[in-house]
Each structure stands twice: as C-alpha cells, then as structure tokens.
A and B are shown apart, each in its own frame.
Chain A
Amino acid sequence: MSYLGTVLLVAGKDLRTEIRSREQVVSLFVFALLILVVFNFAFDFTIVDFGSLGPGVLWVAFIFSGVLALNHSFRIEREQDRIEGILVAPIDRSAFYLGKVAATMMFMSAVEAVLVPLAAILFNQPLTTRLGALLLVLLLNTLGFAAVGTLFAAVTTQTRRSEVLLPLLLFPAAVPIALAAVRTTSHVLAGRPFQVYANWVWLSGGYDLVFLAAAVLLFDFALQE
C-alpha cells in the first residue's frame, strides 16, 4: 500500500468506526456547546464586544473538545492492544501518525463547522462573508493542534493518568497555535484584510510544518517498547 494510501486507509477506518458507533460525536459537540453556553453567562456580550472575546471563547471550546477527540482516538487503539495489529503491519508508522492527524482534524473541523454558526446565533453576531479566509484560518490552526496533539496523545495514552498528562503537555506546547488561532479568527470575523494578520498565518504555517516534520521523525519512538 502506498504511503498516501495508508494514511487515507487509517483515517477512513477511524471515520467509519465513528459513523457506526457515534461514540464521540455527541460528546464532542455537547462539550464544545457547553463551553460556549458557560461563556455566554460568564460575559455579558451586550456590553463586551464579541470580536474581542468571542474568538477566544470559540478556540477554548475547540481545544478542549480536541483533547477529548485525541484521547478517544488512541483509546480505541489501546483497547485490546489493537495498536499492535497496526504496529506489526508492513507500513511506515509515520503514515499511521498522519492518518490519525487527519482523522482528528476531521472531527475537530466538524465541531468547528457547527459551532461557528451556532456562536453567531448565540451571541447575536453577523456571520462573516469572508468564508474562504475563515476556512483557511480554521484548517491551518486545527492542523497544528492536531499534529502536536497526536504525537503527545500517542505517548500519554500509554500512561494511567492520560487525562491529566495530555493537556499538561499539549497546552503549553500549543500556545503559539492558540494565540495565532484566536488573533487571526478575530481579524477575519472583523472583516479585516489579509495583510493585517498575514504574519500570524505564516506563524501557523511554520508551526504546522515544523511539528509535522518532527512528529513524522519521532512518532516511531513513541510506540516502541
């Protein structure tokens, strides 16, 4: 099987499993929605400008549900040692890594696709017409989060305290992506031109490249014994 074929195969397997079991779909959406609702109570958005706090709220919701997705993604493989079936297969283990990143991205993107319009309704905001830019920003930053998150999740899900260790390691490491995500989302929702936030986009892109490359090289070490 070709490298790309393996990546798609692994991602497809995760997607198909999720469609059948619907195990995490509900929890991801509900959890993210809950965070939005809590913030709706916490801040009075008739006084506070949504543009200044809204993107932060959105990304907190995405990041926390992203952690759930990452944990779930590897818990399936840990159960009954299924991951060993993958590890003895004649594939490049980094292809398995990229497949997992792709799957996590799909789930996070699904949550984002629903939550952004929902936030617009909840907080009475007009939705931006700059959909292309919004899509780019969402994808680029979700990719960075998923890239580092998948690497760490592969390690932490082998421990007993994975629920604590994954956020502990991931959140500081993902600070650049979180800052970039919030800032760029804010600019895009405010309808500002690309030049204003271009450097943040380069930062996200650079982050994605660096950590995808690093993870591809390091992933094998995460799963050996």
Chain B
Amino acid sequence: MRGARIPDERIPDDMMRPMWSRVLQITTLLAVPASLYMVFVVAPIEEKMGVIQKIFYFHVPSAFMAFLGVGLCAVMSVLYLVTRQRRWDLVAHAAAELGVVFCTIVLITGPIWARPVWGVWWTGEVRLTSTLVLWLIYVGYLLLRQNAENREQAARWAAITGIVGALDMPIIYKSVEWWRGLHPVVLKMSGGGGLDPVMGRAFAACVVTFTLLFLCLLVERVRLGRLEDEVESLEQQAARRPLTAATDAGGGSSR
C-alpha cells in the first residue's frame, strides 16, 4: 500500500495534533509574512547604517528566543528532577536545542551586521562574546546527552547542566561586560534608546513572531520526542516476542 497514510484511528489519542497546535501553526504562518512586510516595507531605512540595520529585527529577537530557550530548559529541568516525569525532560531538551539554534542565528547575524558597519567581523562586543559562551554551554548540554548510556541518565545529566547553565548566564554576561569595560559607544548594537516609533512597532511585531515561531518549533520537537519514545518502547516489546511480532505485522502488507 504505497503512499497510504496511517488512518487517524491507528494513532494513539495523545499523539494526535490538538486544536490549539493547529491554531498556533496557522497564526505563525500568518505572522511571518506580516512581520516581514513591516520590516522591509513599513519601517524606514535607518540613516547611519542603511539597509543592513534591518538585521537588528532578526538579531535581537533571536537573542530573546535564545534566553527563552535557556530559561525554559532550566525550569523544565527542575521539574524533571523533582517529578521524574519524562515529559518535562522532553520539553527541556527541545528548549535547549532551540536555544542553540537561536544562539547560532545571533552569532551569525552579529558579524554580518558588524562587518559593513564597523569594518570588522568580530568586534569583541560584550553581548556577542557572552552569547558565544552560552552557545558553548548548550552545545555541551547536547553533546553530554549523546554520551549518556541511556535515556534516563541523559535526562538527569542534562538537567544538571541546564540548571547550571541558566544560573551562570547572568554572571557570564556581567563578567564579560566588566571585562571589556562598559558599553563602548561605537559598538551599540541593540539600537535600544531613541528608536523611531514605526521601527519600534516593527520590532515588537518581530518579537511576537519569533515567539510564535519558537513555540511552534517547540511543540513539534516535543511531539517528535514523544514519537521517538513510542518507537523505542515498541522496539522493546518486539524484542521480547520475536516470533509473535512477525505475525502481528499484518498492517497492510498481507492484505
């Protein structure tokens, strides 16, 4: 039966895509072009930096999402250690992965922005340096998970790392800030104060859109994680009954 879908009745109830998830996806799908429109059509071009300044609309919200990932991972890690329920670990893992993804976006858009504006790729700007350290910590988180012997060990070790990483984050940012000296004026990347109100609205729209995107991806990743768990437990059952499993695989093949 090539090309046949698994009929919905065969999927366990809690794996079905719930209504709110569909709504989230549709909202995100609408929000993205709307924000792009606001960024590239509505918002004016910045005087000093030119078009390249528009990277700011992607760079800063990505940083926010990275922090959201880190914070969510930490909270979920605590919940996992306290309750030992698999679902908290699934969210923690997904949040950490998304944190790394958005961190990567920050680290790529940063130099792309810096190069035309200041002529250097890496400015040693405080926030970028701190974000690099954060990126390293959570890449370490993911690598540690891979090096654990089993799922439960991976979850436990990752929870420890996630909590330590989140606690460390503010200290890292502070220490790098002090190390470099406070806010060299020329390296102001956030474009915070003195923002044109139209730009401000575009920025706010971007933050909302990125958040929706984050949540969308989080939901999908958690769903994927649960499906992976389901596959693993099916494999367990099959391994224990090798002969009966063959006769059970009626599915569609023998029809």
Contact = CB atoms under 8 A, between A and B. Distances in A.
Within 8 Å by CB, do A and B touch in the complex?
yes
Interface of A: 148, 151-152, 155-156, 158-161, 165, 168-169, 171-173, 175-176, 179-180, 183, 199-200, 203, 206-207, 210-211, 214, 218, 221-222, 224-225
B143 interface: yes
Contacts of B137: 169, 172-173
A210 B165 CA distance: 12
B75 to A, nearest CB: 15
Given A200-B178, A207-B171, A165 B159 contact: no
A206 B175 CA distance: 12
Contacts of B45: none
A148 B137 CA distance: 13
Interface string B143-161: 1100110000100110111
Secondary structure call for the A interface: helix
Contacts of B163: 214, 218
Contact of A172 (B140, B153, B167): B140
B172 A165 contact: no
B144 A206 contact: no
Contacts of A173: 137, 164-165, 168
Given A160-B147, A179-B175, A172 B133 contact: yes
Given A175-B175, A176-B168, 20 more contacts: A148-B164, A159-B148, A165-B144, A168-B143, A169-B140, A172-B137, A172-B172, A173-B168, A175-B176, A179-B176, A180-B175, A200-B178, A203-B171, A203-B174, A206-B171, A214-B164, A218-B160, A221-B156, A222-B157, A222-B160
Contacts of A155: 144, 157, 160-161
Contacts, number: 82
12 contacts: A159-B144, A165-B140, A165-B144, A168-B136, A172-B136, A172-B172, A173-B165, A176-B172, A203-B171, A214-B163, A218-B163, A224-B156
Contact of A169 (B81, B148, B161, B171): B161
A63 B174 CA distance: 21
A200 B165 CA distance: 20
Contacts of A221: 81, 156, 159-160
Interface residues on B, range: 20 to 34
B179 interface: yes
A165 B147 contact: yes
A172 B161 CA distance: 12
A159 B143 CA distance: 11
Contacts of A156: 144
Contacts of A203: 171, 174-175, 178
Contacts of A183: 178-179
Contacts of B147: 159-161, 165
Interface in B124-138: 133-134, 136-137
B144 A210 contact: no
A225 B171 contact: no
Nearest to B180: A179
Contacts of B175: 175-176, 179-180, 203
Contacts of A180: 175
B240 to A, nearest CB: 22
B83 to A, nearest CB: 13
A214 B167 CA distance: 9
Contacts of A206: 171
A165 B136 CA distance: 12
Interface in B156-207: 156-157, 159-161, 163-165, 167-168, 171-172, 174-176, 178-179
A209 B25 CA distance: 43
Contacts of A200: 178
A153 B16 CA distance: 41
A176 B174 contact: yes
